[in-house]
Amino acid sequence: MNIVIGSDHGGYELKCVLAEYLKSLNHSVYDAGTNSREACDYPDFAFKVAEYVASGQAAFGIMVDGAGIGSAMCANRVPGVLAATCNELFVTRNAREHNNANVMCLGSQAVGVGLAKKLVDVFLETKFEGGRHQKRVDKITAYSGGGAPSPQQLIATIVERVMAALGRSSSGAAAQPETACGSTGLICEDHIKNNCAEGSTLIVKKGTLITSLALDMARKKGITVSYQ
């Protein structure tokens, strides 16, 4: 299973322990940072974890800060993400069974290593019950303006990235070197970093969501963002 994990400085040590634990269970783990105990801001890494999940690159995300609350608030700002503070076994199981949470946020000052591992196990092993709970989850995603990208949207994004790497557009024509077109779905930071040249134009098509980190990356690279 693909899992993304991140933390701020307060959760750095627990994050490292959990990352190794997940690898020992044969999960594929992407570490979104931070990479040291140097003071940093948890929103930067919570957004990155959430966007990684929303883009379909990871099935679940884990974010560790001091209490697990601020990171959950941040992650829930990203369309397609349902994040929960999971510092207790019952709450963690409920977050999956009833709420279909795909990002768990842990507080390094609230749980020890042993409990954290148990919480991770419960979160990853517990299935969403669906049924009456699906209707309630649908109301959450509808109010926030959407849910996770559909499989068709994710496929379109993958095709676009492959074509961009080959120097061609998804229609088969040679790609314009100064223009990067976003397919319907979600444009995240990695898309800007890997597919958009400095000084180019990013065309954001109708129905496409572009994350805040992607916009920041575009500004840094001098990319013009054009909405269609």
User: What phi, psi does 117 have (nearest 5°)?
Assistant: -65, -40
User: What phi, psi does 152 have (nearest 5°)?
Assistant: -65, -40
Would you please indicate which residues are annotated as catalytic (active-site) residues? 98
CA angle, 174 then 177 then 182, to 5°: 85
Question: In whole angstroms, how far apart are CA 179 and each of 5, 168, 172, 175?
Answer: 32, 12, 15, 8
Rounded to whole angstroms, the Cα distance separating 228 from 226 reads 7
CB 72 within 8 A of CB 49: no
